[in-house]
Each structure stands twice: as structure tokens, then as C-alpha cells.
Chains A and B, each alone.
Chain A
Amino acid sequence: MPTAVDNGVNVQALLDARDALAGAPEAAQFSWRATSKWQNGVHSTTTIQNFFGLGEEQSHKTETVFDADHPAVFAAEDNGITPIEYLLVGLSSCLIGGVASVAQNRGIQLRSVEATVEGSHDIRGILGDTDVRNGYNDITVNFKIDADASDREIEALVAQSQKRSAVFDALTNPTEVTVNVG
């Protein structure tokens, strides 16, 4: 029963926000920001705290710092995960958040959700082979979900979470990227 289900997602707040933003599309315009600093070699630190949304500057409650580097097999110092692995972090966490939200909205109690993500990557591209693309050739996500729901309801959760996922969209569709200097 929907009333007893608690996945920790405040679906009502999300539905209210959707209704409110339908009449105020300008408030729905968000800007997410990150600032990266070169450390040494291919090691960088990226800091995230502030963003813009609902018409004003917003802030996470704390600043988060991410280290990105490359592993020893790339002759680097491995001070953090590689940038392309951060894409996997974004994709799987976005899909899991979606599964929880959709489950809450559909009155499905989750007990555990686990996603393993694997991206296949031919690194000859980044090493200069122009016949090979730089990015992932493909990405596979495998979900293991334990919930009070039929297999088909669980499949539907996962399908719906992809449909409403910002990162799934960002990875599967082209995005205009502008890079400036100065």
C-alpha cells in the first residue's frame, strides 16, 4: 500500500515542484558548476559547492572535492579515479535515484538496489588512433533489485528511471559543449 511505503524519497515535494514549475519555467532553469584545478601530472582536484536554481544562487551544505587521476598502468600516480569513471558514477547514481523515486511514486517498497556499470573503452582513441573514438564504445548497467514487486514491475521501474534520468540523457544524446579560454 502506498501509505506504508517509505524509500526515503519525498515524492510529494517533487510532484508539487513539477506543478509549481509548470507555471514558472524560468525558475526551472538550473546551472550546475564545478571548478577544477590542475595539481600535477594528470592529477586534478574538482570542487563543487554552489549552483543556481529557482531564480537564485544556491549552495550544497558542504563543499565536495573530487580527485581525478589515472592508474599506474597509465604511468600516473592514481590519486583518484579517471575522469571517464566519473561518468559511470554519474550514470549509476542517477539511475538508482530514479529507481527509488519511481518506486516511491508507484508505492513499491525497496529493500536493496545495486547497480554495476561497465563501460567498454578502446584506449587507442585517446592515444591518437583516429579510427577509434575517444569515449566509451558502449555502457552496460546491470541492476539487482530486491523489492515488494513483480519482476515486471521492477523492469518498469528501471525503464522509467532511464526515461527520467538526466545523466542517461546526457550520455545517450549529443550535447553542445563550448570551451573558452581566458
Chain B
Amino acid sequence: MIGAGHAGLAASHFLGERSLDHVVLERGEPANSWRHERWDSLRLLTPNWQSRLPAGVGYEGDDPDGYMSAGDVVELIERFASSTGAPVRTQCNVTSVRHVDDGYRVRTSQGEVRARAVVIASGACNRPAVAGFADAIPESVRQLTPFEYRNPDQLPDGGVLVVGASATGVQLAAELQRSGRSVTLSVGEHVRLPRTYRGRDVMWWMDASGIWDQRHDEVEDLARARRLPSPQLVGSAERATLDLNVLAARGVELVGRWGSVRDGQALFSGGLRNVFALADLKLTRLLDSFDEWARAAGLDPELDPPERFAPTEAPRSPRWRIDLRSGEIRTVVWATGFRPDYRWLDVPVLDAKGHLRHDGGVVERPGLYALGLPVLRRRKSTFIYGIEDDAREVTDELGEYLAGRRPAQGKRPASANGSGPSKDPRPHLEPFVQVRALDDRVTP
């Protein structure tokens, strides 16, 4: 196992159940990214009752509807590691994984490990994505990624340009605005969600209606589903919605997707209204499908009445140009998504865009597996509680492989695209499927 986050430890738990000899290699300590790569105020997007792991380990407090801090997640993952007795080798950085005749040769900062099978559980968010034109930003403007950002005190006084309006971007924009700074938010395509709908957390709806359980081979366009950015949500005690209307009402200035820097000027897309329209349409379709599902499930009596939210209001004339040399913007905060880092993986299993080629976590090389990636086997795959089903199934396949019953994963047919619409008897899930190609890249 490479990585002692919730994914690697869940895989370890299931391998342990099968009495399969294994080791979990961890560059730092368990839950390392939760210790070192999260800002201070971060809370999970999922409510506490969803923070559960295999072996019955989960949230134990008295606020099931609250949201864990990064520290709470560290505590949860540590508790899970000790309850399962996972064989974790800490401070053990993997520098190379190579396919050799009888398996894999893994080089680490603590020497070499040989393994018949390797599970890549190093996470999907190893490196913050930054636009290609970042070099063209004048040096007088400080640039920060979410890995470096901790709290507003770190930033110089003055205006902040937050780039990207997914979960990270809207949360940091709100926090920086509250700190008294003037905040401009560059908005590309995004997923708008209310925190609660008809009295329930939106994550309850996603879970109960079956959307989160939708399997990767049922998803109409898997490549798109895997690129979906995180929704505009924040976990707060008030369970408040944090969409662009809320931010604009607090004084955050909305501008289009950041296209380039020319002569010290930041140039933003003039297509802001359309990204609002796309997100509003998708939100309405999703809520329609929630209502349909609730009616069919007979839940209407126990839920608040259906509601619809005001369309995202476009600024009258959004700016498409800001002079970065004028001093108006002192800091740029990149909230343009994250990428996995496979520089240590010396096995040719990445596609042209640097993503791991896999079918439900089974990589195209015998004995190589992955866990904890977006829509790995289900829409919930990257959530903490989404790991259990994935880890069980992937380690089942791994066990079969080691037992010699599954010799050639590499020849399994890809079930990704073009498998046709699912014949799923569950409620109408199209609205979420139709959230198309919503990556929040800032470079064309």
C-alpha cells in the first residue's frame, strides 16, 4: 500500500481480514495531508454521520450533522489505524515503483521493498494546479496555493484575487472577505449546491437517493464524472449555503474565468453569464430529480416543501481586465483544483493527460491497483465513507490475483465510455450525470 490515508488503511484492513501479508508505506505519518496540507478553518463537506470507515470506526461525537475539522479527520484516521493494527511504515517516502518479473520493486527513503502487488493510495490531490501563465504575474503580487494558505493573517494587506469557484475557492473568498480584504473571485464552470434542501443536508440527498452509490460502469460519461470539481459547499455550524449570490451580497466581486496575463493585466473571460446559467440549470435539474425521488419514495410528508433558489445574479458589467501592477491586487490565491502526483511511478500506466489508466481501481498491469480516486468505483469514491465498498472490492480482486485466480487484469475490457445508459431502477439520476465537463482549469 502506498499511502496511509483513509484509502490505504482501508485496503490494509481488508487485506488483514484475508491474512494477506502487507505493509503500508507512508511518506510522513498517517493522514499526512490532513496534518500538513489543509488550511486552518477547513471542514469536511460531508456531515459527521457520513464520516465512517470500515470496521465500525466512525464519528463518535454528539453532533452528527456537524462537519469535521482537519484535526478531527486526523484523529479519526489514527483511531482507524490503531483499531485495525495496520502495519504502517512511517517517514517512508516512496521514490520509485518499477514492474519486475515477479511483481514490483519499490524504492523508498528507507530502502527497497519487493511486492507481488501494489495498491496506489497516495491520493488525488497531491499538487495544487496553477495556471500556466502564473509566471507572467508581476512579482509584486504574492501567489499562494491552498497547500500554503493557512489563514488570512498570512496575507499582506490589500486586495486578493481568488482563482476558482469550487469548494476551496468559495470558502477562501468568504474567509478573506471576512478578514476585511477586498476580494475578487474568478469564476469558471462550477457546481452550485445548497447546503441544505427541504430541511436535509444536500449530502443526505446525494446519499439517500442513490447518486453517491452510482457505480463507475453505470455513469454515462465517466471521464467527465471524474473531472467534476468539488461543489460550492462549506461545512459550518449554521449549515449555511455558500454560493455566488451569497458571496456577491457580502461584497465579493465576481469576474470571469482567468484567461491570461498580458502586459501585467489579468484578462478574464467575458462568458461569466453562461457559467452562471449552466450551474443554475444543473442545480434545478438536480433538485427536480430529488423531488421526484422523494415523491416516489413516499418521503414528502417528513420533508419541508420543495423550494427553488434565485438564479445566480450576474454583475451588471463584470470586469474583464485588472491591472496587476496597480497595487489593487496584492495576493493571488489559486483554488484551481489539485492533481495527483505520480512522478515516482515508473510503470507506463498514465494517459496523455497524466491520469492513471484504471478500470475500477484495477490498473492495466497485473498486481497494480488504485484506491481513493474520483469515481473510482462509485460517485462517493473520494469521500471518507466512500472508501469501504471500493477497498473491499479492490482488495477482493487483489486477493484473487495473488491466489492465481485472476491472472490478467490488464486484459480486462475497459468499461469506461460508451457502455450505454444504465438500466438502473433507482431514481432518475440524469441531472447529476449531466453536470458535464466541469473541470475548473484556468488555462484553455
Please list the 4 inter-chain residue pairs (A to B) with the smallest Cβ-Cβ separation, ordered nearest first. Answer: A172-B270, A172-B271, A173-B259, A162-B274
A-B contact pairs, 10 of them (CB 8 A): A155-B281, A159-B278, A160-B436, A163-B274, A163-B436, A163-B437, A169-B271, A172-B256, A173-B270, A174-B267
Whether the pair A174, B259 counts as a contact (CB closer than 8 A) is yes
A169 contact set on B, CB distance < 8 A: 271, 444
A156: nearest residue on chain B (CB-CB)? B281
Is the CB of B127 closer than 8 A to any CB of chain A? no
- A148-180 contacts to B, CB under 8 A, are 152, 155-156, 159-160, 162-163, 168-169, 171-174, 176
Whether the pair A173, B269 counts as a contact (CB closer than 8 A) is yes
Is the CB of A19 closer than 8 A to any CB of chain B? yes
Q: Mark B residues whose CB is within 8 Å of A.
A: 189, 256-257, 259-260, 262, 267, 269-271, 274, 277-278, 281, 284-285, 317, 352, 417-418, 436-437, 444
A136: nearest residue on chain B (CB-CB)? B270
Query: Given that A19-B417, A25-B352, A159-B274 are contacting pairs, would A172 and B269 also be in contact in the complex, using a CB cutoff of 8 Å?
Result: yes
- Min CB–CB distance B413 → chain A (angstroms): 15
A57 contact set on B, CB distance < 8 A: none
Is the CB of A138 closer than 8 A to any CB of chain B? yes
Name 10 extra pairs, CB < 8 A, besides A25-B352, A152-B285, A173-B260.
Answer: A159-B274, A159-B277, A162-B274, A163-B274, A163-B278, A163-B436, A163-B437, A168-B271, A169-B444, A172-B270
A174 contact set on B, CB distance < 8 A: 259-260, 262, 267
Where chain A touches its partner, the secondary structure class is helix
Whether the pair B271, A162 counts as a contact (CB closer than 8 A) is yes
Q: What CA separation (Å) do A163 and B189 show in the bound complex?
A: 9
Whether the pair A155, B271 counts as a contact (CB closer than 8 A) is no
Q: What CA separation (Å) do A82 and B140 show in the bound complex?
A: 42
Whether the pair A152, B259 counts as a contact (CB closer than 8 A) is no
Interface residue count on the A side (C-beta < 8 Å): 17
A173: nearest residue on chain B (CB-CB)? B259
Q: What CA separation (Å) do A155 and B285 show in the bound complex?
A: 12
Whether the pair A159, B269 counts as a contact (CB closer than 8 A) is no
Whether the pair A152, B278 counts as a contact (CB closer than 8 A) is no
B281 contact set on A, CB distance < 8 A: 152, 155-156, 159
- Min CB–CB distance B255 → chain A (angstroms): 12
- A96-147 contacts to B, CB under 8 A, are 138
Q: What CA separation (Å) do A70 and B284 show in the bound complex?
A: 46
Q: What CA separation (Å) do A160 and B317 show in the bound complex?
A: 22
B418 contact set on A, CB distance < 8 A: 19
Q: What CA separation (Å) do A162 and B257 show in the bound complex?
A: 14
Q: What CA separation (Å) do A152 and B262 show in the bound complex?
A: 38
Q: What CA separation (Å) do A47 and B262 show in the bound complex?
A: 31
Query: Given that A159-B277, A163-B278, A174-B262 are contacting pairs, would A152 and B269 also be in contact in the complex, using a CB cutoff of 8 Å?
Result: no
- Min CB–CB distance B92 → chain A (angstroms): 37
Point out which of B257, B281, B317 has the most chain A C-beta atoms below 10 A from its C-beta: B281
- Min CB–CB distance B301 → chain A (angstroms): 28
B277 contact set on A, CB distance < 8 A: 155, 159
B259 contact set on A, CB distance < 8 A: 173-174
Q: What CA separation (Å) do A168 and B267 show in the bound complex?
A: 16
B269 contact set on A, CB distance < 8 A: 172-173
Q: What CA separation (Å) do A152 and B308 show in the bound complex?
A: 14
Point out which of B267, B271, B418, B437 has the most chain A C-beta atoms below 10 A from its C-beta: B271
Whether the pair A138, B274 counts as a contact (CB closer than 8 A) is no
Query: Given that A159-B278, A162-B271 are contacting pairs, would A138 and B317 also be in contact in the complex, using a CB cutoff of 8 Å?
Result: yes
- Min CB–CB distance B190 → chain A (angstroms): 13
A161: nearest residue on chain B (CB-CB)? B274
Whether the pair A173, B444 counts as a contact (CB closer than 8 A) is yes
Q: What CA separation (Å) do A174 and B268 show in the bound complex?
A: 8
- Min CB–CB distance A41 → chain B (angstroms): 32
B274 contact set on A, CB distance < 8 A: 159, 162-163, 168
Q: What CA separation (Å) do A79 and B178 show in the bound complex?
A: 58
A155 contact set on B, CB distance < 8 A: 277, 281
A171 contact set on B, CB distance < 8 A: 270
A162 contact set on B, CB distance < 8 A: 271, 274
Q: What CA separation (Å) do A19 and B262 show in the bound complex?
A: 35
- Min CB–CB distance A166 → chain B (angstroms): 11
A176 contact set on B, CB distance < 8 A: 260
